[in-house]
Amino acid sequence: MLDHGLADRLATVRDRIATAAARAGRTPEQILLLAVTKVFPAAVVRDAYELGLRDFGENYVQEFEHKAPLVADLSGARFHLIGHLQSNKSRKALDLFQVIQTVDSPRLAARLNESPTPVEVYLEVKLSAEESKHGALPEKLPELIESVRACPQLTLTGLMTIPPWTEEAEQSRPYFRALRELAARHNLAGLSMGMSHDLEVAIEEGATCVRIGTALFGKRQKS
Ligand SMILES: *Cc1c(COP(=O)(O)O)cnc(C)c1O
């Protein structure tokens, strides 16, 4: 049963992406729309797939372990882990996800390199002083990049960040700009940044992947 609300919201999000891209002299094809389905049931993933979405973001290994069998038949779908990954769950994560966006230590990279098949990764960078945020500090990035590049099973796509929460999208801009500058310095093309409320700012600053939950699926129940 297709949710028409979802089709409308997807059209709106695609429109926002296209408008922001045009303003920045970019094309929408340069920006991956990652549908963040954490907390929502597998049926929501299937609806989104039917509407043409192929990349899905999940935050919790354990939660997705239950959903994965229910979406295993969606050919061409790719699942990205966008939540923090503990080293001891790396093997499980490799079974479930094609992309890991939250690599933040050489130790975790080494664990993921045990994968029998190639894995695409982003490095999560911590650009704010917030206690709760995971990610590698910018000064640790050169060492982390070097260790990931030495891992034959890991394909390094780019950098990912989560700025401090704010309702004011402009406040995210300095974090997005800093991530872009870090990526440029290290010759990395991918920039995973921007969520429902600040995707336009992220695209103006060069995002190649925006992670969108609420604007597509509505408010999440607290889990
Ligand atoms: C939940 C989440 C998102 C989606 O946020 P929305 O504001 O609902 O679009 C994006 N990225 C990460 C890392 C998240 O945890």
Q: What is the DSSP string of the chain?
A: ---HHHHHHHHHHHHHHHHHHHHTT--GGGSEEEEE-TTS-HHHHHHHHHTT--EEEES-HHHHHHHHHHHTT-TT-EEEE-S---GGGHHHHHHH-SEEEEE--HHHHHHHTT-SS-EEEEEEB--S--TT--SB-GGGHHHHHHHHHT-TTEEEEEEE--PPP-S-GGGGHHHHHHHHHHHHHTT--EEE---TTTHHHHHHTT-SEEEESHHHH-PPPP-
Mean pLDDT of 13-32: 98
pLDDT band at 131 (very low <50, low <70, confident <90, very high): confident
Q: Which of 219, 180, 215, 181 is nearest to 196 (CA)?
A: 215
Within-domain flag for 182: yes
Given a cut of 70, whether residue 223 has pLDDT beyond it is no
pLDDT single digits (tens) 75-86: 999 999 999 999
> Ligand 1 within 6 A of 213 CB?
yes
Within-domain flag for 117: yes
| Structural domain harbouring 117 | 4-217
pLDDT of residue 129: 83
CA-proximal residue: ligand 1, atom 13 (nearest): 82
What pTM does this model have?
Answer: 0.96
CATH of the domain at 176: 3.20.20.10
Within-domain flag for 113: yes
**Identity of the amino acid at 154:** L
CA atoms of 176 and 122, how far apart (whole Å) = 15
pLDDT of residue 108: 98
Within-domain flag for 222: no
Look at residue 168 and give its three-state secondary structure: coil
Within-domain flag for 202: yes
Mean pLDDT of 110-119: 97
213: number of Cβ within 10 Å? 21
Within-domain flag for 130: yes
pLDDT single digits (tens) 33-80: 999 999 999 999 999 999 999 999 999 999 999 999 999 999 999 999
Given a cut of 70, whether residue 2 has pLDDT beyond it is no
Question: Which residues are paired to 32 by β-bridges?
Answer: 209
- Our mutation pick for probing the ligand 1 site, out of 16, 211, 216, counting the most ligand atoms within 8 A of Cβ, is 211
Atom of ligand 1 nearest to the CA of 36: 4
What average pLDDT is seen over the chain?
96
Within-domain flag for 138: yes
Structure tokens, 48: 């989104």
> Ligand 1 within 6 A of 59 CB?
yes
CB 103 within 8 A of CB 122: yes
Mean pLDDT of 110-122: 97
Rg of the chain on CA atoms, in Å: 17
pLDDT of residue 221: 83
Atom of ligand 1 nearest to the CA of 34: 10
**How many domains, the chain?**
1
Atom of ligand 1 nearest to the CA of 59: 15
Atom of ligand 1 nearest to the CA of 38: 1
CA atoms of 211 and 195, how far apart (whole Å) = 5
- Our mutation pick for probing the ligand 1 site, out of 61, 80, 82, 223, counting the most ligand atoms within 8 A of Cβ, is 82
pLDDT more than 90, % of the chain: 94
pLDDT of residue 94: 98
Within-domain flag for 146: yes
CA-proximal residue: ligand 1, atom 6 (nearest): 213
Question: What spacing in Å lies between the alpha carbon of 206 and ligand 1's midpoint?
Answer: 18
Mean pLDDT of 117-145: 93
